[in-house]
């Protein structure tokens, strides 16, 4: 094929592309079309960030999720965290608003969640830690990702024998040049450090050890109930054969429920043991 024919075909393709853009943007000035052909990097970055942003997608309407709250006894209220955390599930704003309506002295947070937005998760964790009442957390099915460190907010953390826990390093997306990628990596490293601190405080181990578990062999570490207990992430494994009272607390078969004050004292004792273990490692 002669070279001038190939050049003619190339020019015709460019003309068709320009005509298509004119038809698509009839109400916009020609300068806008030329700028678009040159490439609007700022608009492209914004579009890609919006595509992967799970906090507040600008084009997708959202239906507020209702968080289930129920009284399990005269002095205990269950709050169910049975959804993703963030825009596509339960937001921190919704959870904290529900938390504010509870007036009983004891709260049981029941968790079955794959996790979600890290900052919504941190806001929920901090709200539970600063709550004036006694808060216990129970993993009913799965506490993964952001849900795993929310579970650490309880004065005691329990897990059902067949449930699981998963921790991993923070995820994120970045669009841009080397500086953009480097900045994202720095932010992710800081988030990892914050989360490792939460796990270290619960387990009584060093943050470096938690970071290694968060990295895992590929992306994170999965724990069975027994592994979570052995690692110090949970204080109690709930035996399915054991009896429970209306508040979901384990009762020895044929015996009485343990004294609430004794339970609090044991929780403080366990926390002290973790702190001593951490001090000895230093």
Span 8-25, average pLDDT: 59
Q: Which residue among 72, 113, 158, 168 is the active-site one?
A: 168
CA dist., res. 153 & res. 234, Å (int)? 11
Q: Indicate whether 98 pLDDT > 60.
A: yes
Q: Which residue among 72, 145, 148, 158 is the active-site one?
A: 145
CA dist., res. 4 & res. 20, Å (int)? 24
Instruction: Please check whether residue 105 is in contact with residue 73, taking contact to mean a CB–CB distance below 8 angstroms.
Output: no
CA dist., res. 121 & res. 146, Å (int)? 5
- Whether 130 is catalytic: no
pLDDT at 41: 61
Instruction: Please check whether residue 204 is in contact with residue 277, taking contact to mean a CB–CB distance below 8 angstroms.
Output: yes
State which H helix or E strand residue 165 sits in: strand 164-167
pLDDT band at 88 (very low <50, low <70, confident <90, very high): confident
pLDDT band at 273 (very low <50, low <70, confident <90, very high): low
- Classify 114 as helix, strand or coil: coil
State in Å, rounded, how far the first CA of the chain is from the last one. 76
Residue 194 CB partners (closer than 8 Å, separation 6+): 122
39-83 residue pLDDT tens:
566 666 666 565 555 555 555 666 777 889 999 889 999 999 999
Instruction: Please check whether residue 195 is in contact with residue 214, taking contact to mean a CB–CB distance below 8 angstroms.
Output: yes
Span 149-172, average pLDDT: 96
- Whether 160 is catalytic: no
Domain boundaries, the chain: 69-281
Taking the model in full, what pTM does it have?
0.68
Q: Indicate whether 35 pLDDT > 50.
A: no
Residue 19 CB partners (closer than 8 Å, separation 6+): none
Q: What percent of the chain has pLDDT over 90?
A: 55
pLDDT at 175: 86
Architecture of domain 69-281: Alpha-Beta Complex (3.90)
Long-range own/partner contacts, residues 179-183 (CB < 8 A, 24 or more apart): 180/45
pLDDT at 156: 96
Identify the burial level of 91 via C-beta atoms within 10 angstroms of its C-beta, where 0-12 means exposed, 13-18 middle and 19 or more buried: buried
């Amino acid at each position: 094929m002669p070279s001038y024919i190939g050049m003619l075909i190339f020019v015709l393709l460019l003309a068709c592309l320009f005509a298509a853009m004119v038809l698509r943007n009839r109400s916009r000035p020609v300068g806008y079309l030329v700028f678009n052909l040159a490439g609007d990097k700022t608009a492209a970055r914004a579009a890609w960030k919006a595509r992967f942003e799970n906090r507040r997608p600008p084009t997708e309407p959202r239906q507020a999720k209702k968080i289930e709250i129920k009284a399990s006894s005269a002095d205990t209220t269950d709050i169910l965290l049975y959804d993703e955390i963030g825009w596509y599930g339960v937001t921190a704003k919704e959870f904290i608003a529900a938390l504010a309506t509870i007036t009983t002295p004891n709260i049981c947070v029941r968790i079955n969640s794959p996790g979600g937005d890290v900052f919504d998760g941190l806001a929920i964790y901090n709200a539970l830690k600063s709550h004036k009442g006694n808060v216990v957390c129970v993993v009913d099915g799965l506490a993964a990702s952001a849900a795993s460190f929310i579970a650490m907010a309880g004065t005691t953390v329990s897990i059902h024998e067949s449930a699981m826990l998963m921790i991993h390093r923070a995820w994120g997306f970045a669009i841009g040049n080397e500086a953009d990628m480097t900045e994202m990596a720095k932010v992710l490293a800081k988030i990892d450090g914050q989360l490792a601190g939460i796990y270290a405080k619960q387990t009584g181990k060093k943050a470096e050890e938690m970071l290694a578990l968060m990295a895992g062999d590929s992306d994170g570490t999965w724990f069975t109930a027994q592994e979570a207990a052995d690692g110090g992430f949970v204080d109690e494994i709930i035996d399915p054969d054991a009896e429970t009272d209306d508040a979901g607390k384990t009762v020895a078969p044929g015996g009485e429920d343990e004294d609430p004050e004794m339970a609090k004292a044991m929780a403080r004792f366990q926390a002290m043991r973790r702190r001593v273990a951490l001090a000895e490692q230093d």
